[in-house]
């Protein structure tokens, strides 16, 4: 196979998208996910110290984000470990959201 044939085939497989651009988007999304998660944790800690109120809904949202990331990873890679982690994060998220609902209904 010649160089031009290989290049054309790669362009067709990537549907005209630039590999460097795709990689930059992937790194950007990963970094944004990390920064967003850390900022949620910081907000939760500051709110807990200042007001004494635990924000269960934010914790539930954080764990749902993590679960979603691992579900996507599982469906792309089909690795059992990713599915197990996704299920664990889902269960933790359900727990946090249950605490939130209990607080909304003034049970706790």
Tens-place pLDDT, residues 33-89: 888 888 888 888 999 999 998 888 888 988 998 899 889 989 988 999 999 999 999
Residue 49 in any domain: the answer is: no
- Residue 58 sits in the same domain as residue 33: no
Residue 5 in any domain: the answer is: yes
Amino acid 106: pLDDT: 92
- Residue 106 sits in the same domain as residue 59: yes
- Residue 60 sits in the same domain as residue 107: yes
Contact 94, 83 (CB under 8 A): no
- Residue 61 sits in the same domain as residue 23: no
Structure tokens at 19: 């590999």
Residue 48 in any domain: the answer is: no
Q: Give residue 65's domain range.
A: 54-108
Question: Is pLDDT of 5 > 70?
Answer: yes
What is the pTM assigned to this prediction?
Answer: 0.68
- Residue 34 sits in the same domain as residue 69: no
Contact 64, 93 (CB under 8 A): yes
Count: domains in the chain: 2
């Amino acid at each position: 196979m010649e160089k031009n044939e290989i290049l054309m085939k790669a362009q067709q497989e990537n549907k005209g998208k630039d590999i460097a651009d795709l990689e930059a988007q992937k790194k950007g999304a990963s970094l944004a996910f990390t920064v967003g998660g850390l900022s949620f944790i910081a907000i939760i800690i500051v709110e807990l110290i200042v007001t004494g109120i635990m924000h269960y809904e934010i914790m539930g949202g954080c764990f749902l984000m993590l679960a979603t990331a691992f579900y996507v990873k599982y469906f792309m890679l089909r690795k059992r470990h990713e599915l197990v982690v996704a299920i664990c994060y889902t269960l933790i998220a359900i727990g946090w959201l249950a605490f939130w609902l209990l607080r909304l209904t003034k049970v706790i």
